[in-house]
Chain A
């Protein structure tokens, strides 16, 4: 459908000429958002509530 009604000019770009720099840019933005949210989570989880199950790695994982 897209194809049939498309009138945009096409330039053929092959495997070697294609450098997905825009993809890299978008993914960097996404990671930046993820990191920011992750930091924000600290305030919601640890400062906004009473402590839940926290502590050093060992007690959380090990004591069964």
Chain B
């Protein structure tokens, strides 16, 4: 029986259990997050209000934290464990260690979740309505931070587990190239280690001691900056597993091969080195950070477009390869030859399409002056429901339809429901996100329970606010229905009996393989060092000047002598230097222009 079947659970029964546990944890978070999502949607559009507006931030915090911390990251550790074991074709070194980090993550997020949800009741003196960005001056119960620390330490240990497995493999295969899925896992984790230093510093040095009452005050700008040091790269921690799926699963389900293994490696290396030194682009409107530093962050951000465009090309080319192999023809006719009835394919393809749309709103966000137009408006919420809320979430749900049978040994409950589910998500998000973007342009704020004001109307040049609200509520309802279908399939599959006809555990082959990739791409040490250097360049001076101006622990007290005389001088020198450089570039441009005109 088992001989004929070659699913993941057959080759790696012990690991399949961990992956399954991670998936179920992830789905539980998705369910909770979804419930809070629809509550706040109906509340702020004034379609249906049954909670008190003062509880809105508890709902919003739960929605944010459960979805972008636990749903995404639990799913990530599941597929990364699958990727390592499958592509290296070996078990983890010690399955107890693997269960160890999984448990740590589960315990941690439970504590954090309890701290948040306790905010709903007055009978316990506990709350953490700090939103998923949790920087000062918002303060949560210590349990919130402690749980978060445990969760993140869990992910660090997970990374150690994967590195350990790779090292063991390398001993036995010293001359082989790192298999692509493993390469993706390792680069992502290196990026994560660098990124989480920011949040570790912020939580352990400031927020936790502050919430425990050990220190009186903190420097809010410092905790914000440290948060965004981590808050931008976490975006890539959500995206990179989705990218991995687009590179190694999508070509296969399209019926083709990955167009280029070397390009995929280049993309992941670029993410490793460019993800962190860009965080300040979330702080374009923060006073207290010099414009020059913001400009540097913007430049780095624009460079980050490169790996995303490379991905668009490689992934679409791989899909086209599949379509042509299936007989597709013409400039656009090949699109019809793609397997649109397969929920795994369609879900991922629609997710990619949404991501392309998000590319535009992201470019608006990234531009320093255009950002002023949309900063902290509903536009931003529209933007990230396209990125993490669809490109990532819909990809994860779509591949679940392939992974779930692999890790349970049971057939998927219903493929048609699955297809309906991914299409419904796409539709719902089209309504909701489009209206959010438009609302943002009118100036409707995000993070607001009742954005309806007496004696003031948002002016819509096209349509009306009532129409936007209706679309947002409709979109939210479609999304919620989509989630219901998703969970029906997860539960239905879990209740299914064992299946003997599962597809083999495999991932996409390549048209151009690792032998075409320069060896230096696999030099992880080199890329890590470059990444660290860029971070030092981007952050040393902003951090020092924030501390210099506001104090390490806030504006009033200066317990540590941070006044190394040279620091402000250096910072000023750098500022002066960039100013001079840009100014002279400007003069040069002007002179040339005048010359040309004359």
Contact = CB atoms under 8 A, between A and B. Distances in A.
Interface of A: 1-6, 8-15, 18, 20-23, 25-27, 30, 33-34, 37-38, 41, 44-45, 48-49, 52-54, 56-58, 60-64
A54 B368 CA distance: 11
A37 B255 CA distance: 34
A57 B482 CA distance: 47
A2 B342 contact: yes
A10 B326 contact: yes
B236 interface: no
B370 interface: yes
A54 B369 CA distance: 7
B364 A41 contact: yes
Contacts of B360: 33-34, 37
Given A1-B402, A23-B317, A27-B313, A8 B575 contact: no
A13 B316 contact: no
A27 B316 contact: yes
Given A22-B320, A64-B291, A2 B369 contact: no
A27 B312 contact: yes
A48 B461 contact: yes
Closest 10 CB pairs of A and B: A20-B317, A2-B253, A62-B579, A25-B331, A2-B342, A23-B317, A58-B586, A64-B290, A15-B511, A23-B316
B501 interface: yes
B334 A22 contact: yes
A2 B344 contact: yes
Interface in B427-469: 441, 461
A30 B330 CA distance: 18
A25 to B, nearest CB: 4
A25 B332 contact: yes
Given A10-B325, A22-B328, A54-B369, 9 more contacts: A3-B253, A15-B512, A22-B323, A22-B331, A52-B369, A53-B369, A53-B372, A58-B586, A61-B578
Contacts of A64: 290-292, 575, 579
B359 A2 contact: no
A49 B252 contact: no
Contacts of B364: 41
B356 interface: yes
Interface in B564-589: 575, 578-579, 582-583, 585-586, 589
A60 B373 contact: no
Nearest to B442: A48
A56 B586 contact: yes
Contacts of B116: none
Contacts of B405: 1
Interface of B: 252-253, 255-256, 259, 290-292, 295, 312-313, 316-317, 320-321, 323-328, 330-332, 334-335, 337, 339, 342, 344-345, 356, 359-360, 363-364, 368-370, 372-373, 401-402, 405, 412, 415, 441, 461, 501-503, 511-512, 575, 578-579, 582-583, 585-586, 589
Given A23-B317, A58-B582, A14 B511 contact: yes
B327 A11 contact: yes
Contacts of A22: 320, 323-324, 328, 330-332, 334-335
Contacts of B313: 23, 27
A9 B317 CA distance: 20
B331 A2 contact: no
Given A10-B326, A45-B370, A3 B503 contact: yes
Given A3-B252, A52-B372, A62-B579, A30 B503 contact: no
A21 B320 CA distance: 9
Contacts of A30: 312, 356
Contacts of B583: 58, 62
Contacts of A12: 325
A45 B335 CA distance: 36
B312 to A, nearest CB: 7
A18 B401 CA distance: 30
28 contacts: A1-B342, A1-B405, A2-B253, A2-B339, A2-B342, A4-B501, A4-B502, A6-B255, A10-B325, A13-B256, A20-B317, A22-B323, A22-B324, A22-B334, A22-B335, A27-B316, A30-B312, A30-B356, A34-B360, A34-B363, A45-B370, A48-B461, A49-B373, A53-B372, A63-B579, A64-B290, A64-B292, A64-B575
Contacts of B334: 22
B259, B331, B332, B461: residue with the most chain A Cβ atoms closer than 10 Å: B331
A2 B359 CA distance: 29
B353 to A, nearest CB: 10
B461 A60 contact: no
Nearest to A8: B326
A5 B412 CA distance: 13
A23 B251 CA distance: 14
A13 B373 contact: no
Given A22-B323, A52-B369, A1 B312 contact: no
A2 B331 CA distance: 24
Nearest to A44: B441
Contacts of A33: 360
Contacts of A61: 291-292, 295, 578-579, 582
Contacts of B373: 44-45, 49, 52
Contacts of A6: 255, 339
Contacts of B321: 13, 18, 20
Contacts of A63: 291, 579
Given A22-B330, A23-B320, A44-B441, A4 B339 contact: no
